[in-house]
Amino acid sequence: MIQKYTNFHRIFFLIVDLVLLNALYLIPLLFFEKTPQSDLRDLIILNLSSNIVWLVSSYLLTVYVIYKQVNLRILIRRTILSYLIFAALLSTVIYFANFEYTTYLIAAIVLGFGLVLLVSRLILISYVLYTRSNSKFFRKIIIIGYNETADTLIKSFASSESSLRCLGCFDDIDHSSGSMRLHYLGTIDKSFDFARQNEVAEIYCTLSPEKFPYLYDLAEQAEKEFIRFRFVPDLYQFLNRKAHLDFIDELPVFSLRSEPMNYATAQLKKRFFDIIISSLITVFLLSWLLPILAVIIKIDSKGPVFFKQKRGGQNNKDFLCIKLRTLKQAPTAVGTEIQVKKGDNRLTKVGRVLRKTNLDELPQFFNVLMGNMSVVGARPHMLKHDISFATIEERYTIRMLSKPGVTGWAQINGLRGEIKENIQLKRRVEFDIWYIENWNTWLDLKIIWLTVHKMIIGDKNAY
């Protein structure tokens, strides 16, 4: 079953949060009888900035994408992260704008909005917990077909904390002594009467209507009694792996994998996220750290500060990847195409430290700003290695469906550095593909945080 988020929840909570946020800015007007014109102008600018910053942070973290089956942990996590981003961005705006208002008043507004979010989410959580514990909010269902698909369906309902309660299943073959978790209720011809007598809201059918044509008549009969009838196709008859369902108008289309980044809105969101993160790092870190590192690299060894090399990018289109030079200057270009190994004598003294701390990758944020890379994605390899790796692992090129990243899911899981065995390449590809299939902004933030954490504690595979 594909969950759809409700526009009602999205619009309702967005409006409530924005109304309460703007209400906080009425406090200065209520407490002070006469507000100077300059202060009023600053207050209006600050108010508009707060609205824009909150809309941006909540959009990046998809705070208002609330599914019918609310996952409370995800909701809380997204709200907290959005608020932290809101507080950080708003503080930055206030710092550079040099508003006349006191720090105390600004802090009161930021903390006040945090309290607003806390109260509104507690109300939502209380409502969700109440509906999940009260039987009058449960929806009764039955399943037609006693098979593995039905068993999987029940497990999905349980894992998603659904309000659906399955009373059992119907099948023309007696499975009352079966080992699955389903309760056998009888033959299919008895299902409609049972549903009507027990106030069943939905019937899920896991049998093929092509093999059992009378199921269409049963579906029409059920809907006349306002009982929704849903077909659950057994895709494993056609596919031996998890498939992704999409729609072109009303036409269902199956693909081998989900690609959240393939949608225009998702690409815009990820690009905006990349620009924000890269700009912050460029302004607050690279602006002063790169000149220092450049001087150290020049003192340590002869050669250029930056190392540029063609790497495989999105859809296998190569680009010029920028790094800080960590190897001794090679007499020919061939020397730079050999993968760095542990204890490699080509490494400079400074280069060992740079690679150990990942500081050599910092110039790649310029690649991100240019659009060649993303902050998070599969790490780019040398063109020579792309060719050889593709012959070893048949799914290797799938990782190139998205832009390469400065850091990635495989890297923070220890899959970086020299590839000595084919299994290492296989696992790296698996992690990169998993990222493509499960991308969201929260996952990007998690990977960035874990990358910083590994930089601090060290990574044994970094050399």
In sequence order, what DSSP letters do the residues of 201-246 get, joined into one string? -EEEE-S-TTT-THHHHHHHHHHHTT-EEEE---GGGT-SS--EEE
How long a stretch of residues is the chain?
Answer: 463
Q: Residue range 155-172: average pLDDT?
A: 75
**What mean pLDDT comes out for the span 339-343?**
70
The model's pLDDT over 54-66, given as tens digits with 9 standing for 90+, comes to 988 888 787 876 5
- pLDDT beyond 50 at 264: yes
Cα 448 to Cα 85: distance, rounded to the nearest angstrom? 14
**CA–CA distance from 424 to each of 68, 186, 389, 411 (Å)?**
40, 51, 11, 12
Give the pLDDT mean for 410-423: 85
How much is the pLDDT for 273? 92
> What pLDDT score was predicted for residue 100?
62
Query: pLDDT at residue 179 above 80?
Result: no
Give the pLDDT confidence score for residue 1 in this predicted structure. 38
Mean pLDDT estimate for the chain? 81
The tokens describing 12, both together, are 């309702």
Residue whose C-alpha is closest to residue 287's, from 209, 227, 344, 365 = 365
Q: What is the predicted pLDDT for the residue at 249?
A: 60
Q: Is the pLDDT of residue 36 over 50?
A: yes
The answer to whether the beta carbons of residues 206 and 232 sit under 8 Å apart is yes
Record the tokens describing residue 75, joined without a space: 């909701």
Instruction: Kindly tell me if the per-residue pLDDT of 417 is higher than 80.
Output: no
Q: How far is CA 143 from CA 66, 132, 327, 349, 430, in A?
A: 27, 21, 64, 67, 35
Here the tokens at position 217 are 């008549």
Contact 149, 156 (CB under 8 A): no
Of residues 172 and 278, the one with the higher pLDDT is 278
Q: Is the pLDDT of residue 108 over 60?
A: yes
> Which 3 state secondary structure label does DSSP give 321?
strand
Handedness of CA 188, 190, 192, 196 (dihedral sign): negative
Of 295 and 253, more confident? 295
Residue 56 CA, chain-centre distance (Å), reads 16
pLDDT of 318 reads: 92
Tell me the per-residue pLDDT of 109-141, one tens digit each, with 9 for 90 and over: 888 888 988 888 888 777 777 766 665 667 888
Would you tell me the crossing angle of helices 441-457 and 264-281 to the nearest 10 degrees? 30
* Strand pairing category for 139-144 and 202-205: parallel
Mapping DSSP to helix (H, G, I), strand (E, B) and coil, where does residue 445 land?
A: helix
State the pLDDT at residue 154: 80
> Of the segments 6-10, 118-122, 180-184, which one has the largest average pLDDT value?
118-122
Higher pLDDT, 433 or 101: 433
pLDDT value for 28: 64
Token look-up 């939502």 returns 124
Among the residue ranges 84-88, 158-162, 256-260, the one predicted with the least confidence is: 158-162
Q: What is the pLDDT of residue 439?
A: 93
pLDDT greater at residue 370 or residue 156: 370
- Do the beta carbons of residue 419 and residue 347 sit within 8 Å? no
Tokens 């044994």 correspond to: 460
**pLDDT tops 60 at residue 91:** yes
Q: Which of 117-126, 316-325, 327-336 has the highest mean pLDDT?
A: 316-325
Joined tokens for residue 341: 């190994």
The pLDDT value given to residue 295: 93
Q: What is the pLDDT of residues 16-32, one digit of tens each?
A: 888 888 888 777 666 65
How confident is residue 274, by pLDDT bands cut at 50, 70 and 90?
Answer: very high
- Return d(Cα 366, Cα 373) in angstroms, integer: 9
**Average pLDDT score over residue span 178-204:** 82
Work out whether strand 251-255 and strand 244-248 pair parallel, antiparallel, or are unpaired.
Answer: antiparallel
pLDDT higher for 417 or 24? 24
CA distance 195 to 140: 9
- 6-15, 260-269, 289-298, 396-405 — which is least confidently predicted? 6-15
* pLDDT for residue 232: 83
Q: Which residues contact 112 (CB under 8 A, 6 or more apart)?
A: 24
Is residue 230 scored above 80 in pLDDT? Answer: yes
Mean pLDDT of the region 177-196: 78
- Whether the predicted pLDDT of 239 surpasses 90: no
276 pLDDT more than 70: yes
CA dihedral 379, 385, 390, 392 (to 10 degrees): -110
Nearest-10 Cα torsion for 129, 130, 133, 138 = -110
CA distances from 336 to 71, 280, 325, 326, 347 (A): 49, 31, 11, 11, 11
